[in-house]
């Protein structure tokens, strides 16, 4: 496995880790009304997993790719290289802006993109 491997061997957990939801709530509470943020997080807890390509999540979010020198991205790259499973990412559709909010998992998304932009990422999206 290496950078730009068309079939990266990335392991994923079956569900997001419990601490991902409070992290998503913390972030969403900054950009949404607290009650709406809490509602979106509850919806995320109940949402099924779906798969999206890393490049498509970036395009839909409008976020910039963090470099491998970012310590959180670097830690996630090391997890991938060590065969450790990553937590799926949490996404919220923002219809008003025509964007997807990465509520939790931005650093994981950047780490996966490092290996291949077409890598499929399990996501919960509402």
Max CA pair span of the chain: 43
Question: Which pLDDT score, from 0 to 100, does residue 9 have?
Answer: 83
Question: Which pLDDT score, from 0 to 100, does residue 6 have?
Answer: 46
Is the model's pTM score more than 0.85? yes
Number of domains in the chain: 1
Question: Which pLDDT score, from 0 to 100, does residue 69 have?
Answer: 78
Question: Which pLDDT score, from 0 to 100, does residue 3 have?
Answer: 52
> What's the mean per-residue pLDDT of the chain?
91
Task: Tell which residue, 50, 36, 54, has the closest CA to residue 105.
Answer: 54
Q: How far is Cα 51 from Cα 78, in angstroms, rounded to an integer?
A: 22
Residues 49-78 have pLDDT tens digits of: 999 999 999 999 998 888 777 889 999 999
Question: Do 92 and 125 touch, CB atoms closer than 8 A?
Answer: yes
Determine, yes or no, domain membership for 86: yes
Determine, yes or no, domain membership for 116: yes
The residue-averaged pLDDT of 101-122 equals 94
What percent of the chain is predicted at pLDDT more than 90? 77
Structure tokens at 54: 């890393």
Determine, yes or no, domain membership for 12: no
Range of the domain at 116: 20-125
Determine, yes or no, domain membership for 13: no
Determine, yes or no, domain membership for 46: yes
Q: How confident is the model at residue 1 (pLDDT cuts 50, 70, 90)?
A: very low
29: domain CATH number is: 3.90.1530
Residue 52 neighbours by CB distance under 10 Å: 17
Determine, yes or no, domain membership for 96: yes
Determine, yes or no, domain membership for 6: no
Determine, yes or no, domain membership for 2: no
């Amino acid at each position: 496995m290496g950078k730009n491997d068309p079939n990266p061997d990335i392991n994923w957990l079956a569900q997001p880790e419990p601490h991902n939801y409070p992290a998503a709530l913390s972030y969403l509470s900054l950009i949404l009304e607290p009650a709406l943020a809490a509602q979106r997080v509850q919806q995320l807890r109940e949402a099924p997993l779906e798969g999206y390509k890393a490049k498509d999540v970036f395009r839909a979010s409008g976020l910039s790719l963090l470099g491998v020198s970012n310590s959180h991205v670097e830690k996630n790259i090391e997890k991938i290289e060590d065969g450790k499973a990553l937590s799926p990412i949490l996404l919220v559709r923002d219809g008003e802006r025509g964007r997807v909010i990465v509520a939790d998992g931005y650093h994981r998304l950047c780490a996966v993109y490092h290996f291949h932009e077409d890598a499929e990422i399990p996501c919960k999206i509402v």
